[in-house]
Structure formats: structure tokens, C-alpha cells
Amino acid sequence: MEETNKVDFHIEVSAHDTSIEDIDWMTRQLLSELRELDIESAELTKGDSAPVGTKGDPITVGSIMISSLPTVIPAVVALVQAWSSRGQGRTVKFKGKVGKEMIEFEGSAEDLHKLLATLDKGKKKK
């Protein structure tokens, strides 16, 4: 995969009135569903350091890192949209690089889909 064609972005999961344990469970559930798509990789985002007395790699609760071809992004957006609609108060924040352009977005999956379509049209005009 060429570096310029690759899309790297984070998805941050949150929900109103929810514990950290619930956010972690929801994030892992979404990660499991994302891994069923034809994406290069989807992993929990690594944290800086693990708490004292714990073993293993630290993770950032509620955060997933995805690498994919741009053509797979609509499927990712559709999956996230369906996932977020299955739970009360779930929200998702997207941050990443599409081509050479950085995007940061918080809102509905429909609005993200529109943003990505706009970015894709901009690339085709060049």
C-alpha cells in the first residue's frame, strides 16, 4: 500500500453517564466489528505508560487506531454509524489524516461521511 493512499485515523468512543469500564467494553466491541472489515489494521490506541503494578501494554480507553485504503472508509463509517445507533447516548470522534490532509471531526456518522466525500472530490480535482 502506498503511503499517500493510506488513511490513518483514530476513533474515540464516548457515551453520556457511562463508566470507564463501560467505555472500554464498548470500544472493544466496536474494535471487534471493525476487524471484520477489509481494513489494513485496527488496534486499541497505546497509552504512554501502564499504571504501577499492572502488566501488559497500556491502552487509551475509548480509542481505536485504524489504517485503511480510502475506498474502505465508507464501510467503516457505515459500521460506526450502525454501532453508535445501537446504544443510548453513544458518540464518536474521528481524528486523522486522509491523504495529506488532517481532519478532526465530532458529530454524526452521516456528517463524517459527507466530509470524507468532500475531501475525496477535492483530491479528484487536483
CATH code of the domain occupying 3-125: 3.30.70
Give pTM, 2 decimals: 0.74
| pLDDT, averaged across the chain | 78
Checking if the pLDDT of 23 tops 80, the result is yes
Q: 1 pLDDT band (50/70/90 cuts)? A: very low
φ, ψ (nearest 5 deg) of residue 49? -150, 150
What mean pLDDT comes out for the span 103-111?
70
- The ranges assigned to domains in the chain are 3-125
